[in-house]
Structure 1
Amino acid sequence: MIALLALTLTVSTATPVLTLDEALQAARENSLDLQVARARLEQARLASNRAWAAYLPTVSVGGSYTRNSNEAVVAFPGGGPEIVIQPYDQLAAQAEVRQAILAPSLWPAIRNAGIAADVAELNTENARREILFAVAQAYFGAASYQEAIRAAEFLLQVNQAREQDTQKRFDAGTVTRVALLRAQLDRARAEQDLVRSRNAFASARLALATLIQRKADFALELPPVPQVPANSDEELIKQGLEQRPDVAAARRNLDLAVGRRTGVWFSYAPSVGFSGVYRVSNAAGFTGQNDSWALTLSAQWTLWDGGIREINLREESARVAEASAQQKQAEARTVEEVSRSRLDYENAKANLAKAEEALSLARETQRLTEISFKAGVATYLEVADANSALTNAEVGAISERLQTSLAALRLLRAAGLFMKE
């Protein structure tokens, strides 16, 4: 942990402070990318309902009115009643019910729709984690830039005080004009560094605000370095293979490809259906009845369709091979990312420890140089070099802390532990 300088300026209390947890919650609620992913998930779930609907009965009703040019009447021999088979104004209504009894091609379609919904849900979860990962990265980066502003403000304070002291010494004739010019130059450089740090922070804060869909009117607090479980690489790799949603989605995509190929095989089977129709009309017809009904049991078996099924079968087999390769690729990528992220994290921790040690030495050097300068032992150039070394050590420690935090986030993400619900 890097202790903040005692003389650094704090953020104005009028500026609201946005914590990392608040930023992540804002992303959950406001992220447009996450809203898109959730909408696609809902579409996938509706596809499952659509697949089931093909196996449910369908009911339809209809009616018609026809004006005929002539009326047709049938009279039976022997003085029987006349039957109007075509009136001038003909009215008719019909109700029909259809139900698939044996539809083999629908069985894998229903199962595949459920798998597709699983894939969509896993992709949505992966998108959620990636969005929150991007927000966390942006937050740590912006917070580090804010700390760099404080280091730059401290250096400016030191150089302003040094310039005032040198001006007094120059007026008293104890230092040369060169020393005064050097003090003024150091102060000008410190002002320029402060402006550069503020602009970098403003840009990083704007990027974070865009991710969470809010105004860039907040200050930040630098979070501690994320904690990484003290597991071996093998354990982290196992966790990544089990808990990463992109790996799980790749596996379910393979199941979906196999299911679609199975669906092509089932299309070779015959289908059986049932339908029932009820009709009513003011035209009695030859039966003499104004209403009628019919029940039909039908079977259909496509023996040859021009080779379309064979083409579909080869196409789906190729997709199975593609999905299998993508699954292996996702698993291999997980192994590589965990191993590389672990190395990056260990390297970043070592660099941070050295940076903190260098910062401690630079602070002590600057303190002793100040004391020596006031005692007339050290020169102004030595003081300026000590102040510059302290600033560089501050900025270096802030940078190494940022790199360590980002490396920890990447390792957690690679192992499937970042923002796991």
Structure 2
Amino acid sequence: MNPLALVALVALAAEPGAAPRKLTFQEVLTRTESQSLELQAARARLAQAQELSSKAWSGYLPQISAGASYTRNNVEATFALPTGYAIREVGGPTSDDPNLPGAPTNFALVPVGVQEVPIQKLNQLGAQVQLNQAIFAPALCMAIKSAGIAEDVATLNVEAARREILFGAAQLYFGAAGLLQAVTVQERLLVVYTAREKDAQVSFDVGAQPKVALLRAQIDRARAEQDLLRARNSYLSTIQALATLLNEPADFDVVVPEEPVLPEGIEQLEAAVQKRPDVVAAQRNIELAETGRSSVKWRYAPTLGLSAAYRWANAAGFTGQNTSWAITLGLQWVLWDGGLREAELRESSAKIAEAKANASAAENRARDEVRRGLLDLASARANRLKAEEQLRLARESQRLVDVSFKAGTATYLEVTDANTSLAAAETGFVGETLNASLAALRVLKAAGMFAPTPLAPQQGEQ
């Protein structure tokens, strides 16, 4: 097959139809923020965590319940309730001796009229409304405080996850941009090798070059076609991964972005570490553990609660009324619970020590990431300068060898070596440029300066 025809087929396979749309780096971050399914799941987890305070407050707010019942009894029972009373004589003289005075007459209240009051009906109905309210419950107050801190920690953890997702999108974007540059390099090299093959064919036809030179040119052109196809497939694969993260079709191209700009001075970067979501979350976990220990201590105190109930039944009972109400003020004090509170105090003290160690480790890890990231960035920038110098020298060498070859003073092997060196230099420069940009991104992420927009306001913020 004609080499130019093969190049055209490869280009058509890589770019079917109309030219794809271009997405800038900032557009990708914005789309990831709004369309990523992973971020949607993170926001859903945050919405769940933000209900912790409502759940904790539910234990301290009034609890109102209502109920009704129906009972089928085997027998019906009634109670005789007098409707009125009268004074009646119940005694008189009790002695038969006429010389003794008679006993006084006795009087008593005697019920007059009786009403049958049912105390158990055959079909018995009842209804009740009850109110329970905690008045003094210190442990519940500590639970409410802990819930608020737990919400903040959950918000910080989700924000850290958000930044990781956006950083993953940024890495994919810069990787795709580097591969796009590699495709451009391979396309240019393929044009060079194709032209070289054409020159070798002309030289062979006129007898100026041996056939081995033509075969070598054909081999170089075939290798360049394969390298171009491999580079394009790698680029399309990265675009597909980025499209999956964005939750949209892979019908776009990337634009080569500028290298991220870092603030001056490592002190500023290390100071920013204190605002990283994972570091702040580790610090808030100390407060959460301390609040948990306070909650255990307050369980030694008594609790006071109020309970009120209103009842109705179709059987009046002994009071003769179908409705009744009661208010109860109750005090409960657990004097000994088998040592549970003491064990939980020891456990909470260990949790505080763990939280403090984790917070210190998070700060040290963040500072270490910044320092190592700066070292990697310095190495990447130095490598990029060397790669740029090698590229300049390789281009000059290839130009000189090409002039010599056309003048008949250089062999095709020298031309091949010069082109191979140029290809390696261009590919190396693209790779080192990508490494420098990714190293700068990693430093920004380590310092907590990458995508710092909060996912949701923290407790107490507007």
TM-score range, shorter chain: over 0.9
State the partner residue of 1:124: 158
Q: CA deviation at 1:214?
A: 2.4
1:217 to 251, 260, 274: 251
State the partner residue of 1:6: none
Q: CA deviation at 1:327?
A: 0.2
What SS class does the counterpart of residue 419 from structure 1 fall into? coil
State the partner residue of 1:146: 180
Q: Is 1:189 aligned to residue 194 of structure 2? A: no
State the partner residue of 1:355: 387
State the partner residue of 2:420: 388
The letter of the residue matching 1:61 is: A
Alignment of 1:198-237 (within 5 A): 198-230=232-264, 232-237=265-270
Root-mean-square deviation over aligned CA pairs? 1.8
State the partner residue of 1:168: 202
Distance in 1 separating the partners of 2:400 and 2:369? 46
State the partner residue of 1:245: 277
Q: CA deviation at 1:272?
A: 0.3
Distance in 2 separating the partners of 1:283 and 1:250? 62
The letter of the residue matching 1:21 is: Q
- Higher RCO (C-alpha 8 Å, min separation 6): 1
**Long gaps (5+) in structure 2:** 1-10, 83-110, 454-462
Q: Is 1:39 aligned to residue 72 of structure 2? A: no
Q: CA deviation at 1:384?
A: 1.9
Alignment of 1:305-324 (within 5 A): 305-324=337-356
State the partner residue of 1:3: none
Structure of higher CA gyration radius:
2
2:214 to 169, 180, 196: 180
Q: Is 1:410 aligned to residue 442 of structure 2? A: yes
Moved more, 206-215 or 383-392: 206-215
Residue-by-residue CA offset, 1:207-243 (whole Å, 9 max, x unaligned): 222222223332222111111112x2122101112x2
State the partner residue of 2:94: none
Residue-by-residue CA offset, 1:233-275 (whole Å, 9 max, x unaligned): 122101112x210000101111111111111111111100001
Q: Is 1:69 aligned to residue 77 of structure 2? A: no
Distance in 1 separating the partners of 2:253 and 2:75? 88
Q: CA deviation at 1:307?
A: 1.5
Between the two proteins, what is the percent identity of the paired residues? Answer: 55
Residue-by-residue CA offset, 1:341-377 (whole Å, 9 max, x unaligned): 0111111111111211221222222223323322333
What SS class does the counterpart of residue 105 from structure 1 fall into? helix
Moved more, 348-357 or 359-368: 359-368
2:366 to 321, 329, 334: 334
Q: CA deviation at 1:314?
A: 1.6
Q: CA deviation at 1:66?
A: 2.4
What SS class does the counterpart of residue 81 from structure 1 fall into? strand
1:291 to 323, 343, 356: 323
1:106 to 140, 143, 153: 140
The runs of 4+ residues in structure 1 deviating greater than 3 Å are 9-13
State the partner residue of 1:29: 34
State the partner residue of 1:5: none
The letter of the residue matching 1:268 is: Y
Residue-by-residue CA offset, 1:153-204 (whole Å, 9 max, x unaligned): 1111101101111111111111122222221221122122222212322332
Moved more, 29-38 or 315-324: 29-38
What SS class does the counterpart of residue 125 from structure 2 fall into? strand
Distance in 1 separating the partners of 2:117 and 2:167? 81
The letter of the residue matching 2:155 is: E
Distance in 1 separating the partners of 2:79 and 2:287? 65
What SS class does the counterpart of residue 84 from structure 1 fall into? strand
Residue-by-residue CA offset, 1:293-346 (whole Å, 9 max, x unaligned): 111000000111112212222222211111111100000001101111011111
Residue-by-residue CA offset, 1:11-54 (whole Å, 9 max, x unaligned): 95622223222222222223222222212111111111000111
What SS class does the counterpart of residue 50 from structure 2 fall into? helix
What SS class does the counterpart of residue 220 from structure 2 fall into? helix
What SS class does the counterpart of residue 257 from structure 2 fall into? coil
The letter of the residue matching 1:379 is: T
What SS class does the counterpart of residue 138 from structure 2 fall into? coil
Q: CA deviation at 1:115?
A: 0.4
Distance in 2 separating the partners of 1:316 and 1:331? 23
Moved more, 255-264 or 374-383: 374-383
TM-score, normalised via structure 2 length = 0.85
Residue-by-residue CA offset, 1:42-76 (whole Å, 9 max, x unaligned): 11111110001111001111122223333322223
State the partner residue of 1:263: 295
The letter of the residue matching 2:266 is: D
Distance in 2 separating the partners of 1:91 and 1:219? 75
Aligned residues: 411
The letter of the residue matching 1:265 is: K
State the partner residue of 1:278: 310
State the partner residue of 2:58: 53
Residue-by-residue CA offset, 1:123-154 (whole Å, 9 max, x unaligned): 11101100000110011112211211111111
**Long gaps (5+) in structure 1:** 1-8
State the partner residue of 1:17: 22
Q: Is 1:345 aligned to residue 377 of structure 2? A: yes
